[in-house]
């Protein structure tokens, strides 16, 4: 039986017309930041509902720790409030375990999954990065944090292609736009474990692996694909942020899979 739905107070983007598509963004991101570069393509064939997690984009910061079940339920409730009875879910990074849990808790509503740069649980290397992320946040060292995430979030070729002034400007811009709810997002990463959900999923799924991802490394992506029955696996030659490095290619992978399913 599906979990009961709460009233969702998540701020949201609603675009397009057609079959439903619910978006789940990454930690320290937002719908505009993570899906803005591909929104036109996705909304051309779908009714897209993109909720911002607490403390990002259009949504106020939470006054309590986030939990995976509650966040998954809020996202599903947002889609239902916008008139979608059933929908595919596209998750990016932290949005992938959120999407998986949404499908596990609401199987009658979720029709397909597209999981990009995702993980079932954080391995020790990823946990080390998460703990550095949290430490720099709590110390208010936002430029140092933005520098770290630029090094491990972008691919080496993408960073190497930037001039010094361009890279420094990008780091300053990233530091100035850290969402206030990022500490809660980062805490949630450490608590995630959806390994037991994967074999129970019974929907078409596509796992997209950014092959140059140095934050959520490709073994995490492969674990998702291997764990979901019948999941398809695709690769894209980017770092962790395909919407910055190869948005057209990423959008096409999502669009084409959803058109087939």
Phi, psi of 62 (to 5 degrees): -70, 150
81-110 confidence digits (pLDDT tens): 999 999 999 999 999 999 999 999 999 999
Residue 3 confidence (pLDDT): 83
Residue from 87, 86, 11 nearest 55 by CA:
11
Question: What share of the chain has pLDDT > 70, as a percent?
Answer: 100
pTM of the model: 0.97
Concatenated DSSP letters for 69-114? HHHHHHHHHHHHHTT-SSEEEEEETTHHHHHHHHHHH-TTTEEEEE
pLDDT of residue 2: 78
Are 228 and 204 contacting, i.e. CB atoms less than 8 angstroms apart? no
* Domain 12-124+181-260: homologous superfamily in CATH: Alpha/Beta hydrolase fold, catalytic domain (3.40.50.1820)
What is the mean pLDDT of each successive set of 10 residues along the chain, which is 261 residues long?
A: 89 98 98 98 98 98 97 98 98 99 98 98 98 97 96 96 96 97 98 98 98 98 98 98 98 98 91
């Amino acid at each position: 039986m599906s979990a009961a739905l709460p009233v969702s107070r998540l701020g949201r983007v609603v675009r397009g017309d057609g079959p439903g598509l619910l978006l789940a963004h990454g930690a320290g991101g937002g719908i505009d930041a993570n899906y803005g570069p591909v929104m036109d393509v996705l909304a051309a064939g779908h009714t897209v509902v993109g909720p911002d997690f607490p403390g990002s984009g259009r949504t106020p910061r939470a006054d309590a720790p986030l939990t995976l079940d509650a966040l998954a339920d809020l996202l599903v409730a947002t889609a239902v409030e916008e008139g979608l009875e059933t929908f595919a879910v596209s998750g990016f990074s932290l949005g992938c375990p959120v999407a998986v849990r949404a499908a596990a808790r609401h199987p009658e509503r979720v029709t397909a999954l597209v999981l990009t740069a995702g993980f079932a649980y954080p391995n020790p290397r990823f946990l080390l990065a998460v703990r550095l992320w949290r430490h720099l946040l709590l110390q208010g060292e936002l430029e140092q944090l933005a520098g770290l995430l630029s090094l491990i979030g972008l691919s080496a070729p993408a960073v190497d292609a930037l001039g010094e002034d361009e890279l420094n400007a990008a780091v300053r811009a990233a530091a100035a736009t850290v969402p206030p709810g990022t500490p809660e997002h980062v805490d949630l990463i450490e608590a995630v474990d959806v390994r037991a959900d994967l074999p129970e999923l019974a929907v078409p799924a596509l796992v997209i692996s950014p092959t140059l991802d140095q934050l959520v490394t490709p073994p995490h992506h492969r674990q998702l694909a291997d764990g979901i029955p019948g999941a398809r696996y695709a690769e894209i030659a980017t770092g962790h942020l395909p919407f910055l490095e190869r948005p057209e290619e990423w959008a096409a992978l999502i669009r084409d899979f959803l058109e087939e399913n």
